[in-house]
Amino acid sequence: MFCQLRGAILGILVFVSSFTAYAQDIPKEQIKGLDEQVQEIKSDVLGIAADLNQLEEKLLYPSNTQVAVFVSLVMGETFRLDSVDIQLDGKPVIHHIYTFKELQALQKGGVQRIYTGNIRTGDHDLQVSVLGKSTGGTDLQNTKRFKVNKGVGPKIVEISLTAQGITLKDR
Partner 1 sequence: MYRLIVSLIFLMFSVSSALAGVSAPKELKDLYFGEALYDAFQGDWFDAISRLDTELAQHYGLDEPKRDTLYYHVNQAEFAVGDFELAYRMHQRAGRAIKAVIEGNVSEPVRNEAVFRLARIYFYKNEPADALYAVERIRGVVPPKIRNDLAFLRAQIFMANGQFDKAANILKDLQVAKRLEGFSTYNLGIALLREGKKVEGRQYLDRTGQIKSKDDFTLAIRDKSNLVLGTKLLKEKKIEAAKQVLDRVRLKGPFSNRALLASGWADAFAGRFKRALVPWSLLATRDVTDASVQQAMIAVPYAYGKLNVFSKAAVMYGSALNKFGTEIDKLDASIKSVREGYFLKALVREELKQDADWVVKLRKLPQTPETYYLLDLMASHNFQESLKNYLDLEGLRKKLETWNGDLDAFEEIIEKRRVYYQPLLPAIDREFRRLDSQMRLRLEQRDRIQQRLKNMLVVPRPDYLATANERVISEQIAQLEQHLTAGGSSVPDGIKARIKRLRGVLHWNIYTEYDRRFTDAYEHLRDLNHEVDRLKRQYTAFVRTRQAATQSYEGYDDVIRRLRFQVQTARKKVGELMARQGRMLESMAENELNKRRQRLTEFQIKVRFAMADSYDRAIRAQAQEKMER
Positive or negative torsion for Cα 105, 80, 140, 136: negative
User: Using an 8 Å Cβ cutoff, are 166 and 159 in contact?
Assistant: yes
CB of 34 to partner 1, least distance (A): 6
Element (H, E) at 9: helix 2-17
Q: Note whether 74 binds partner 1 by CB under 8 A.
A: no
User: For the window 137-166, what string marks contact with partner 1 as x by the rule CB under 8 A?
Assistant: ---------------x---x-x--------
Q: Note whether 97 binds partner 1 by CB under 8 A.
A: no
CB of 162 to partner 1, least distance (A): 15
Using CB under 8 A, which of 66, 86, 113, 117 touches partner 1?
A: 113
Q: What is the DSSP letter of 125?
A: E
CB of 135 to partner 1, least distance (A): 20
Query: What whole-number distance in Å separates Cα of residue 80 and Cα of residue 86?
Result: 18
Spell out where the chain has E strands.
66-73, 80-88, 91-97, 112-118, 122-133, 139-150, 155-161, 166-170
CB of 37 to partner 1, least distance (A): 6
Helix (H, G, I), strand (E, B) or coil at 82: strand
Binding residues for partner 1, rule: CB under 8 A, are 1-2, 4-6, 8-10, 12-14, 16-17, 20, 22-23, 25-26, 30-31, 34-39, 41-56, 58-60, 62, 64-65, 70, 72, 75, 101-102, 104-106, 108-113, 121, 152, 156, 158, 171
